[in-house]
Amino acid sequence: MTDKVIEVSNLEKKFDKTIALKKVDFSVERGEVVGLLGANGAGKSTLLQILSTLIIPSSGEAKVLGKNVQSDPLYVKKHIGLLFGNDTGLYHRLTAYENISYFAEFFGVPQSIYDQRIKDWAERLQLTPHLHKPAGALSKGNHQKTAIIRTLIHDPDIIFFDEPTTGLDISASLSFQDLLKDLKAEGKTIIFSTHIMEEVEALCSQVIILQSGIVSFQGTLTKLYETMQTNNLTEVMRKVIGG
Ligand SMILES: Nc1ncnc2c1ncn2[C@@H]1O[C@H](COP(=O)(O)OP(=O)(O)OP(=O)(O)O)[C@@H](O)[C@H]1O
Protein backbone atom coordinates (compact mmCIF):
# COMPACT_ATOMS: atom_id res chain seq x y z
CA MET A 1 0.00 0.00 0.00
CA THR A 2 1.33 3.45 -0.86
CA ASP A 3 1.50 6.13 1.77
CA LYS A 4 1.29 9.49 0.03
CA VAL A 5 2.35 12.18 2.46
CA ILE A 6 2.35 15.05 -0.03
CA GLU A 7 -0.38 15.42 -2.65
CA VAL A 8 -0.56 18.39 -4.97
CA SER A 9 -3.30 18.75 -7.55
CA ASN A 10 -3.92 21.42 -10.14
CA LEU A 11 -1.99 23.91 -8.02
CA GLU A 12 -1.58 27.43 -9.37
CA LYS A 13 0.02 30.57 -7.99
CA LYS A 14 -0.10 33.99 -9.54
CA PHE A 15 1.68 37.12 -8.33
CA ASP A 16 -0.17 39.89 -10.17
CA LYS A 17 0.60 39.09 -13.81
CA THR A 18 3.37 36.57 -13.08
CA ILE A 19 2.22 32.94 -13.15
CA ALA A 20 4.67 31.24 -10.78
CA LEU A 21 3.00 27.79 -10.80
CA LYS A 22 0.72 26.33 -13.47
CA LYS A 23 -1.47 23.24 -12.99
CA VAL A 24 1.10 21.51 -10.81
CA ASP A 25 0.29 17.87 -10.01
CA PHE A 26 2.49 15.42 -8.13
CA SER A 27 2.61 13.25 -5.06
CA VAL A 28 5.38 12.07 -2.77
CA GLU A 29 5.41 8.87 -0.73
CA ARG A 30 6.66 8.60 2.83
CA GLY A 31 10.42 8.16 3.07
CA GLU A 32 11.27 9.67 -0.33
CA VAL A 33 14.03 12.23 -0.76
CA VAL A 34 12.96 14.43 -3.65
CA GLY A 35 15.19 16.89 -5.48
CA LEU A 36 13.32 19.93 -6.77
CA LEU A 37 15.15 21.25 -9.81
CA GLY A 38 14.69 24.10 -12.23
CA ALA A 39 16.14 27.35 -13.49
CA ASN A 40 16.04 30.58 -11.47
CA GLY A 41 12.44 31.71 -11.30
CA ALA A 42 10.99 28.29 -12.23
CA GLY A 43 8.74 28.27 -9.14
CA LYS A 44 10.65 26.04 -6.69
CA SER A 45 10.53 28.42 -3.70
CA THR A 46 6.90 29.28 -4.42
CA LEU A 47 5.97 25.60 -4.33
CA LEU A 48 7.87 24.99 -1.08
CA GLN A 49 6.32 28.10 0.48
CA ILE A 50 2.81 26.86 -0.34
CA LEU A 51 3.56 23.39 1.07
CA SER A 52 4.94 25.07 4.21
CA THR A 53 1.74 27.19 4.59
CA LEU A 54 3.71 30.43 4.23
CA ILE A 55 1.76 31.61 1.18
CA ILE A 56 -1.62 30.56 -0.16
CA PRO A 57 -2.22 29.14 -3.63
CA SER A 58 -4.34 31.01 -6.18
CA SER A 59 -6.20 27.79 -6.99
CA GLY A 60 -5.86 24.01 -6.71
CA GLU A 61 -4.97 22.00 -3.65
CA ALA A 62 -1.92 20.94 -1.65
CA LYS A 63 -2.10 18.36 1.11
CA VAL A 64 0.58 17.41 3.62
CA LEU A 65 0.01 14.26 5.69
CA GLY A 66 -3.54 14.22 4.34
CA LYS A 67 -4.32 17.75 5.57
CA ASN A 68 -5.04 20.67 3.30
CA VAL A 69 -2.36 23.30 3.84
CA GLN A 70 -4.96 26.09 3.72
CA SER A 71 -7.59 24.63 6.01
CA ASP A 72 -5.23 22.91 8.48
CA PRO A 73 -2.10 25.09 8.58
CA LEU A 74 -1.38 24.52 12.28
CA TYR A 75 -1.39 20.73 11.91
CA VAL A 76 0.89 21.02 8.87
CA LYS A 77 3.27 23.47 10.60
CA LYS A 78 3.63 21.13 13.56
CA HIS A 79 4.74 18.21 11.39
CA ILE A 80 7.10 19.95 8.99
CA GLY A 81 10.54 21.45 9.23
CA LEU A 82 11.46 24.16 6.77
CA LEU A 83 14.53 26.08 5.84
CA PHE A 84 14.86 28.73 3.19
CA GLY A 85 18.47 29.23 2.18
CA ASN A 86 18.28 32.98 1.72
CA ASP A 87 16.30 33.74 4.88
CA THR A 88 17.14 31.74 7.99
CA GLY A 89 14.92 33.89 10.22
CA LEU A 90 17.33 33.61 13.16
CA TYR A 91 17.21 36.23 15.94
CA HIS A 92 20.52 38.00 15.68
CA ARG A 93 20.80 38.95 19.37
CA LEU A 94 20.19 35.38 20.60
CA THR A 95 23.01 32.87 20.49
CA ALA A 96 22.89 29.91 18.09
CA TYR A 97 21.95 27.67 21.04
CA GLU A 98 19.22 30.06 22.20
CA ASN A 99 17.75 30.31 18.70
CA ILE A 100 17.45 26.54 18.50
CA SER A 101 16.22 25.98 22.07
CA TYR A 102 13.63 28.77 21.75
CA PHE A 103 12.20 26.97 18.74
CA ALA A 104 12.35 23.58 20.48
CA GLU A 105 10.42 24.92 23.48
CA PHE A 106 7.85 26.47 21.18
CA PHE A 107 7.23 22.96 19.83
CA GLY A 108 7.15 21.43 23.33
CA VAL A 109 10.36 19.39 23.02
CA PRO A 110 11.70 18.50 26.50
CA GLN A 111 15.03 20.16 27.34
CA SER A 112 16.89 16.89 27.94
CA ILE A 113 15.95 15.78 24.41
CA TYR A 114 16.73 19.02 22.59
CA ASP A 115 20.00 19.47 24.47
CA GLN A 116 21.18 16.07 23.28
CA ARG A 117 20.06 16.76 19.69
CA ILE A 118 21.81 20.15 19.64
CA LYS A 119 24.98 18.57 21.03
CA ASP A 120 24.99 15.72 18.47
CA TRP A 121 24.13 17.77 15.39
CA ALA A 122 26.40 20.69 16.30
CA GLU A 123 29.24 18.17 16.56
CA ARG A 124 28.37 16.64 13.18
CA LEU A 125 28.12 20.00 11.43
CA GLN A 126 31.23 21.40 13.19
CA LEU A 127 29.18 24.12 14.91
CA THR A 128 30.07 23.28 18.55
CA PRO A 129 32.64 26.10 19.10
CA HIS A 130 30.08 28.67 17.89
CA LEU A 131 26.94 27.52 19.73
CA HIS A 132 27.12 30.26 22.35
CA LYS A 133 27.90 33.17 20.03
CA PRO A 134 25.15 35.60 18.99
CA ALA A 135 23.64 34.54 15.66
CA GLY A 136 24.36 38.04 14.32
CA ALA A 137 28.09 37.45 14.84
CA LEU A 138 28.21 34.08 13.05
CA SER A 139 29.65 33.55 9.59
CA LYS A 140 27.13 32.82 6.82
CA GLY A 141 27.91 29.09 6.94
CA ASN A 142 27.58 28.83 10.73
CA HIS A 143 24.36 30.82 10.54
CA GLN A 144 23.08 28.25 8.02
CA LYS A 145 24.18 25.31 10.21
CA THR A 146 22.27 26.83 13.15
CA ALA A 147 19.18 27.14 10.94
CA ILE A 148 19.54 23.52 9.79
CA ILE A 149 19.56 22.27 13.41
CA ARG A 150 16.63 24.53 14.27
CA THR A 151 14.70 23.06 11.31
CA LEU A 152 15.16 19.53 12.64
CA ILE A 153 14.92 20.10 16.40
CA HIS A 154 11.25 19.08 16.78
CA ASP A 155 11.84 15.87 14.80
CA PRO A 156 9.45 16.70 11.93
CA ASP A 157 8.11 13.93 9.64
CA ILE A 158 8.40 16.07 6.52
CA ILE A 159 11.26 18.44 5.77
CA PHE A 160 11.42 21.17 3.13
CA PHE A 161 14.83 22.63 2.38
CA ASP A 162 15.17 25.46 -0.13
CA GLU A 163 18.80 25.53 -1.25
CA PRO A 164 20.01 24.32 2.16
CA THR A 165 23.73 24.25 1.44
CA THR A 166 23.90 27.94 0.52
CA GLY A 167 26.97 29.32 2.26
CA LEU A 168 28.29 25.96 3.50
CA ASP A 169 31.88 24.95 2.78
CA ILE A 170 32.63 21.56 1.20
CA SER A 171 33.15 19.78 4.50
CA ALA A 172 29.91 21.13 6.00
CA SER A 173 28.00 20.34 2.77
CA LEU A 174 29.20 16.74 2.95
CA SER A 175 28.25 16.52 6.66
CA PHE A 176 24.85 17.89 5.71
CA GLN A 177 24.50 15.21 3.02
CA ASP A 178 25.33 12.53 5.61
CA LEU A 179 22.71 14.03 7.93
CA LEU A 180 20.14 13.84 5.13
CA LYS A 181 21.03 10.19 4.52
CA ASP A 182 20.43 9.45 8.22
CA LEU A 183 17.10 11.29 8.12
CA LYS A 184 16.14 9.24 5.09
CA ALA A 185 17.08 6.04 6.94
CA GLU A 186 14.77 7.16 9.77
CA GLY A 187 11.91 7.34 7.25
CA LYS A 188 11.66 11.13 6.97
CA THR A 189 10.26 12.59 3.77
CA ILE A 190 12.40 15.37 2.35
CA ILE A 191 11.95 17.76 -0.56
CA PHE A 192 14.88 20.02 -1.26
CA SER A 193 15.57 22.48 -4.02
CA THR A 194 19.11 22.81 -5.22
CA HIS A 195 21.24 23.86 -8.15
CA ILE A 196 23.98 21.41 -7.09
CA MET A 197 23.65 18.28 -9.19
CA GLU A 198 26.08 16.22 -7.06
CA GLU A 199 23.68 16.59 -4.11
CA VAL A 200 20.82 15.27 -6.21
CA GLU A 201 22.82 12.28 -7.44
CA ALA A 202 24.03 11.49 -3.91
CA LEU A 203 20.70 11.78 -2.13
CA CYS A 204 17.55 11.73 -4.23
CA SER A 205 15.26 8.81 -4.88
CA GLN A 206 13.03 11.08 -7.01
CA VAL A 207 13.36 14.34 -8.88
CA ILE A 208 10.80 16.94 -9.87
CA ILE A 209 11.78 19.38 -12.61
CA LEU A 210 9.93 22.69 -12.82
CA GLN A 211 10.06 24.74 -15.99
CA SER A 212 8.36 28.14 -15.91
CA GLY A 213 5.96 26.91 -13.24
CA ILE A 214 5.11 23.62 -14.95
CA VAL A 215 6.24 20.18 -13.77
CA SER A 216 8.07 18.86 -16.82
CA PHE A 217 9.30 15.67 -15.12
CA GLN A 218 8.70 13.64 -11.99
CA GLY A 219 10.30 10.27 -11.42
CA THR A 220 13.47 8.45 -10.51
CA LEU A 221 16.89 9.54 -11.72
CA THR A 222 17.10 6.29 -13.70
CA LYS A 223 13.89 7.16 -15.51
CA LEU A 224 15.16 10.70 -16.13
CA TYR A 225 18.42 9.39 -17.60
CA GLU A 226 16.52 6.95 -19.82
CA THR A 227 14.18 9.69 -21.02
CA MET A 228 17.03 12.09 -21.75
CA GLN A 229 19.39 9.38 -23.08
CA THR A 230 22.31 10.43 -20.90
CA ASN A 231 23.38 9.55 -17.38
CA ASN A 232 24.91 12.93 -16.68
CA LEU A 233 22.53 15.08 -14.62
CA THR A 234 24.31 18.34 -15.41
CA GLU A 235 23.89 17.50 -19.11
CA VAL A 236 20.22 16.71 -18.53
CA MET A 237 19.66 20.04 -16.78
CA ARG A 238 21.55 21.87 -19.52
CA LYS A 239 19.19 20.33 -22.08
CA VAL A 240 16.10 20.97 -19.97
CA ILE A 241 16.72 24.52 -18.80
CA GLY A 242 19.34 25.64 -21.30
CA GLY A 243 22.68 27.31 -20.59
N1 LIG B 1 6.36 37.63 -3.67
C2 LIG B 1 6.43 37.66 -5.00
N3 LIG B 1 5.89 38.68 -5.70
C4 LIG B 1 5.94 38.71 -7.04
N5 LIG B 1 6.51 37.75 -7.80
C6 LIG B 1 7.05 36.71 -7.17
C7 LIG B 1 7.04 36.61 -5.73
N8 LIG B 1 7.66 35.44 -5.38
C9 LIG B 1 8.05 34.87 -6.54
N10 LIG B 1 7.68 35.62 -7.61
C11 LIG B 1 7.90 35.29 -9.03
O12 LIG B 1 7.44 33.96 -9.23
C13 LIG B 1 8.32 33.25 -10.10
C14 LIG B 1 8.84 32.01 -9.39
O15 LIG B 1 9.77 32.43 -8.38
P16 LIG B 1 10.44 31.41 -7.36
O17 LIG B 1 11.17 32.22 -6.35
O18 LIG B 1 9.43 30.45 -6.89
O19 LIG B 1 11.49 30.64 -8.31
P20 LIG B 1 12.68 29.66 -7.92
O21 LIG B 1 12.57 28.49 -8.84
O22 LIG B 1 12.68 29.38 -6.47
O23 LIG B 1 13.96 30.51 -8.33
P24 LIG B 1 15.49 30.51 -7.70
O25 LIG B 1 16.17 29.29 -8.23
O26 LIG B 1 16.04 31.78 -8.31
O27 LIG B 1 15.38 30.57 -6.22
C28 LIG B 1 9.39 34.25 -10.51
O29 LIG B 1 9.00 34.83 -11.74
C30 LIG B 1 9.38 35.28 -9.40
O31 LIG B 1 9.81 36.53 -9.86
d(Cα 12, Cα 14) in Å, to the nearest integer? Answer: 7
Residue 139 forms part of a structural domain:
no
Instruction: State pLDDT tens for residues 186-222.
Output: 999 999 998 888 889 888 989 999 999 999 999 999 9
Structural domain range at position 196:
9-91+159-241
Q: How far is CA 91 from CA 24, 83, 96, 99, 142, in A?
A: 35, 15, 9, 7, 14
Residue 134 forms part of a structural domain:
no
Is there an atom of ligand 1 within 6 Å of 41 CB? yes
Instruction: State pLDDT tens for residues 162-196.
Output: 988 877 888 888 888 888 888 999 999 999 998 88
Between the CA of 208 and the centroid of ligand 1 the distance, in Å, is 17
Residue 200 forms part of a structural domain:
yes
pTM higher than the cut 0.90? yes
Residue 121 forms part of a structural domain:
no
Between the CA of 46 and the centroid of ligand 1 the distance, in Å, is 6
Section 87-116 average pLDDT: 94
Taking residue 151's Cβ as centre, other Cβ atoms within 10 Å add up to 21
Residue 18 forms part of a structural domain:
yes
Residue 203 forms part of a structural domain:
yes
Residue 119 forms part of a structural domain:
no
Residue 86 pLDDT > 80, yes or no? no
Residue 32 forms part of a structural domain:
yes
d(Cα 213, Cα 43) in Å, to the nearest integer? Answer: 5
Between the CA of 57 and the centroid of ligand 1 the distance, in Å, is 14
Is there an atom of ligand 1 within 6 Å of 125 CB? no
Residue 52 pLDDT > 90, yes or no? yes
Q: What is the largest CA-CA distance in the chain?
A: 52
Task: Say whether the ipTM exceeds 0.85.
Answer: yes
Structural domain tally of the chain? 1
